[in-house]
Structure 1
Amino acid sequence: MSMFDVLVAEIGSTTTVVSAFSGVKAGVPMLAGQGQAPTTVLAGDVTLGLSQAIDALEGQLGFPVVWGEMMASSSAAGGLRMTVHGLVYDMTVKAAREAALGAGANIHLVTAGELSEVDLEEIRRINPNIILLAGGVDYGEKQTVINNANRLAAGLSPAIPVVYAGNAAAKQQVCAIFTNQGFSVKAVSNVYPRIDQLQIEPTRRVIHEVFEKHITEAPGMSKTRDLVGGRIIPTPGAVMQAACLLREEIGDLVILDVGGATTDVHSVTEGDPEIAALLIAPEPLAKRTVEGDLGVYINADNVLALTDCERLCEQLCCQPEQLAHLRTPLPVTMAEKEFAGILTELAATTAIKRHVGTIEYIYGPTGRMTLARGKDLTAVKWIIGTGGALTRLPVGHCILNSINAPRNNGYLLPHNAQALIDRHYVMAAAGLLAERYPEAALHLMKQSLGIA
């Protein structure tokens, strides 16, 4: 039996990974061992998979595991279903969307301007876990957001929590509208306080808090909370915290996390100053996009739809009906790994193209003008792969290298960034550790990436 400082559990939609760390408090952190098992949402209790992952860890170490404290992140409940409502899409709606995605929420509906009855019907159908209402720069136009607050409060169940991140001049009136109808409403700083300024961190923090309450809805998750001394945060949020900490040490970076259900892209970069001068709208320093349709197990069919199935079968030397048998949460055979590698490459390259910005040309009275739209990754020095697929499959490094692109291809992709693999699969765990033990978290990440 051995006592470890911290045990970190990452409860994903497909697999549960448990990592044991020693020396965290002494300043000499080390990953002592790691166990994984399929997540047992379908069995009705995620703690079954957690127990199996701990058993796997004990089997690897050869002795029972005892720990001082446990931390956890999760995406097993499927992420927060969120709807976002603002005034102008390219301004407050976009800012609110960035805040939501960075906190681990899944956006199911985005509206701009005044809500219609059709919008309300769609919100009722989605039955969101949280509504994010924004609109207007501070002390600018406020009637639209007040009208939207009235429509939402009158037309929806008060069981849905509301976050208000809009015009400060309307805050008191908007909060009163929801409170009078029995809603729980939390007001934070405007996500778009002035033209060309994003302020998304306060909104992200509140969404994290809502996630902590929501995560108990995953079957058996309330039992997990009894084991965890600290917060249970969304896994994408943990990875974002790790990315921001790591960027301070090694420079601008992008992290790809290809999972069983989703593919997440996190980038932390200010971009090239020359590109920034061409941007038609501001972008956040730390940006996350989640592709809820791209996964290598649960959403493998969506990824397969992106390729020529007949050609894929020729490559794998199999019949179309055999593809289903190659799909597994934990690939073991060479055929399963090859199939998973192909899905991973498709998911990663598609997700990065959805995340990155582009150079565009328009023609006016003075001739051709060059504009930039979206996130600029051209200054990125490091492309990092984390998550089960990219860290466990032999093709991970090649996939990451392929993200680099020529300067003239239209996408604002990295040009000569170096590919790194989170070999020890600690990125999400390091994000959890970062709140309490930032130096240990940074050391573990650099060690895992081979740059210590």
Structure 2
Amino acid sequence: MEKIISIDIGSTFTKGALFERQATMLRPVQRACVPTTTAHLAEGFQKCIGMLTGSNEIPDNCRLVYSSSAKGGLGIVAIGAVPELTLKMAKDAACSAGGKIQSVFAYKLTPEDIEAINSLRPDIILFTGGTDGGNETIVRHNLQMLENIAANIPVIFAANRSLRSAAEKLLAKHQLHIIENVLPELNSPNPEPAQEKIRELFLKQIVTGKGLDELVKSTGQTPVPTPYSMLEFVKVIADCEESPSEFCIIDMGGATTDFYSRTRRELDSDCVITRGLPEPNIKRTVEGDVGMRICADAAIESDSRFIDCKLEDYSLSRKQLNSYLKNFKNEPSYLPQNDNESRLEELLAAVCLRTAAVRHCGRRRTVYTITGPTAVQTGKNLRRVSTIIGTGGFLAQADDNILKNTFAGAVSANPEEEILLPEQPKFFADKEYLLPLLANTARIAPDAAAATALNKLTLRE
């Protein structure tokens, strides 16, 4: 009987499972989980192998698949001309390829923007702007400004092809990668070349140092970026007959909170018009500033009002919250030790979940025309989503009320618009935290991996 070993090297924990391949399912035979050995990632990997097999070797009858989140994904700065067009394409391409957006810059870059980019020290700059043969003024200006960024930051040029020669000349001293335009024509998105280039650079980055290069040599394969592996798995699940027609998966990790959605492109009524580029049926966003450990400090700053209200509900203080967060500095795998810390952990998870959900979904507002009121929608409508699946340490065990209250209480900062969050979803938990591991196995046995994932979900009553 064929066996598959799947390992995911996360920012906080390294997880593994040994699966037996059966007719239509994958049966988990053994599990392993150890704190990620950040100084030398191969150590945690080998510990998992030992726990799964009883030795340091992979048996001949086992196939290995593994992934790495590499500090939560590559940090990317996206530059574009128009926020609703090329810049949106840049953000979508970055997120779907395994990156996390550190910052975005629209229209003409300023000296202050360049200073900010250099301070951010991104892993990649994704440069977009203009359709092919279209706007050149803003793109040329931004290329000239980019001459002043640090030369060691890779730049992916995915803008108006008419300015490729200018890019080669102006950025000759930089690590320049020229690819096809992300938006060659209006309403004709082309994210795939950018996604592929980001994944290529991702792999080069994550296998350099910290022991991953050793794993590549010993296993004969490079790790797949965890976010990309999960996105591809969502596509596999969507094609499964047992899959709900519209669903969301939320993967809450130590460094990021990743939000995946599968919906259909339908409007609620003829009285709704959409603005901006069409949303993909399957979409991923990653929030690099909201995570349960590595980015916990940033997470609590993302919604201070919500944090203060929850602290009051729990009869806890900011001082107690800050004291709890200090535990993560030296020990990212730290877990709550008492009731108060459990409540603070719940609060941290709630703000991560709320922020990720609100940023992922679309908005709708009413405008008045000569024919009467009309609803204008931007972004993705999640109202009809029937199923929300939570994975990741906290969400795998979360109480149903926490999830319901987090979604029900989310409102827009703009009183004239509504947030298009799921209205009456059912909540399911990946209690065994198998989804990232099954995502790896989907490269070998896609149908069995998807069937197993859906079979293992637990309904939160």
TM range (shorter): 0.7 to 0.9
Cα deviation for residue 398 of structure 1 reads: 3.9
Asked if the contact 2:93/2:195 (under 8 Å) is kept, the reply is yes
Aligned to 1:385: 390
Equivalent position of 1:161 in the other structure? 154
Residue in 2 that maps onto 1:39: 36
In the TM superposition, what is the alpha-carbon distance from 1:178 to its structure 2 partner?
A: 6.2
Q: 1:160 to 1:4 in 2, by over 3 A?
A: farther
CA distance in 2, matches of 1:127, 1:322: 29
CA distance in structure 2 between the aligned counterparts of 1:90 and 1:100, rounded to whole angstroms: 15
Note the alpha carbon deviations across 1:261-317, whole angstroms, 9 max, x for none: 22111112234323795221122332222222222223333444542375366369x
Cα–Cα, structure 1 residues 382 and 184, in superposed 2: closer, same or farther, change >3 Å? same
Say what the alpha-carbon RMSD is for the aligned residues.
3.3
Residue 244 (str. 1) matches residue 227 (str. 2): no
User: Alpha-carbon deviation of 1:204?
Assistant: 1.4
Corresponding residue for residue 312 of structure 2: 311
- Residues 49-82 of structure 1: CA deviation (Å, up to 9, x unaligned): 2233344445xxx787734333222223342122
Correspondence for 2:296: 300
Offset from partner CA, 1:202-246 (integer Å, 9 cap, x none): 321221111001112462222232344433222222211111211
CA distance in 2 between partners of 1:116 and 1:254 (Å) = 38
Mapped partners of 2:269, 2:155: distance in 1? 36
Mark the CA change 1:434 to 1:57 in structure 2 (over 3 Å): closer, same or farther. closer
Is contact 1:258-1:387 (8 Å) kept? yes
Q: Following TM superposition, by how much is the alpha carbon of 1:16 offset from its aligned partner in structure 2, in angstroms?
A: 1.0
C-alpha separation in 1, matches of 2:163 and 2:126: 15
Matched, 1:185 2:177: yes
Alpha-carbon offset, residue 156 of structure 1: 3.6
Partner of 2:248: 254
Q: Distance in 2 between matches of 1:278 and 1:122?
A: 36
One-letter amino acid of the structure 1 residue matched with residue 274 of structure 2:
L
Q: Name the CA distance, whole Å, in 1 between partners of 2:267 and 2:357.
A: 21
Distance 1:8 1:174, change over 3 A: farther
Q: Quick one: which of 442, 447, 450 aligns to 1:439?
A: 447
Structure 1 residue 413 corresponds to structure 2 residue 414: no
CA contact (8 A) 1:76 1:218 kept: no
User: Given the alignment of the two structures, is residue 92 of structure 1 paired with residue 82 of structure 2, yes or no?
Assistant: no
2:279 pairs with 1:286 = no
The answer to whether the 8 A contact 2:155-2:174 is kept is no
Amino acid at match of 1:354: R
The letter of the residue matching 1:425 is Y
Q: Identify the residue that residue 324 of structure 2 maps to in structure 1.
A: 323
| Whole-angstrom distance in 1 between the partners of 2:410 and 2:151 | 50
- Provide Cα deviations, 1:147-197, integer angstroms capped at 9, x if missing partner: 433443x334444332222234444x2564367446341313x22233234
Q: Do residues 216 (structure 1) and 207 (structure 2) align? A: yes
Give the letter for the 1:434 counterpart: A
Displacement of 1:401 after TM fit? 4.2
Letter in 2 for 1:39: T
State the alpha-carbon separation in 2 of the partners of residues 176 and 408 from structure 1. 46
- 8 Å CA contact 1:208–1:234 kept in 2: the answer is yes
Distance 1:343 1:147, change over 3 A: closer
In structure 2, the partner of 1:53 is 48
1:233 equivalent to 2:221? Answer: no
Amino acid at match of 1:72: Y
SS at match of 1:389: coil
Q: Per-residue deviation at 1:83?
A: 1.6
Which residue number corresponds to residue 207 of structure 1? 198
Mapped to 2, the partners of 1:205 and 1:298 lie a distance apart of 27
Alignment partners' CA distance in 1, 2:280 and 2:376: 18
Query: Residue 268 of structure 1 is aligned with which of 259, 262, 265?
Result: 262
Query: What is aligned with 1:5?
Result: 3
Structure 1 residues not aligned, in runs of 5+? none
| Kept in 2: contact 1:313–1:319 (CA 8 A) | no
- The change in CA–CA distance for 1:359 and 1:226 in structure 2 (over 3 A counts) is same
The equivalent residue for 1:110 is: 104
Distance in 2 (CA, whole Å) between partners of 1:104 and 1:242 is 13
Structure 1 segment 367-406 matched on structure 2, within 5 A: 368-391=373-396, 393-395=397-399, 397-402=400-405
Question: Which secondary structure state, in structure 2, belongs to the residue aligned with residue 37 of structure 1?
Answer: strand
| Gap change, CA 1:89 and 1:334, over 3 Å in 2 | same
Provide the rounded CA distance (Å) in 1 between the counterparts of 2:405 and 2:228: 26
Q: From the superposition, tell whether residues 110 and 315 of structure 1 become closer, same or farther in structure 2 (CA, over 3 Å).
A: closer
Aligned to 1:240, the other structure's residue is in SS state helix
| 1:346 and 2:346 matched | no
Gaps of 5+ in 2: 413-417
Distance 2:409 2:122 in 1: 41
* Contact preservation (8 Å) 1:386, 1:422: yes
State the one-letter code of the partner of 2:31. Answer: Q
TM-score, normalization by structure 2: 0.83
Query: Deviation per CA, 1:2-34, whole angstroms, max 9, x where unpaired?
Result: x9733222111111111222227x765222222
SS at match of 1:443: helix
Cα 1:22–1:175 shift into 2, 3 Å: farther
Partner residue, 2:415: none
For the Cα contact (< 8 Å) 1:275–1:372, is it kept in 2?
Answer: no
CA contact (8 A) 2:25 2:452 kept: no
Q: Give the Cα separation in 2 of the matches to 1:407 and 1:332.
A: 26
Give the equivalent residue in structure 2 for 1:77: 71
Taking structure 1 as reference, are residues 264 and 155 closer, same or farther at Cα in structure 2, changes over 3 Å only?
same
Q: Which letter does structure 1 place at the counterpart of 2:86?
A: T
Q: Supply the distance in 2 between the matched residues of 1:322 and 1:175 (Cα, whole angstroms).
A: 49
Length-normalised TM-score, structure 1? 0.84
Identity of aligned residues (%): 29
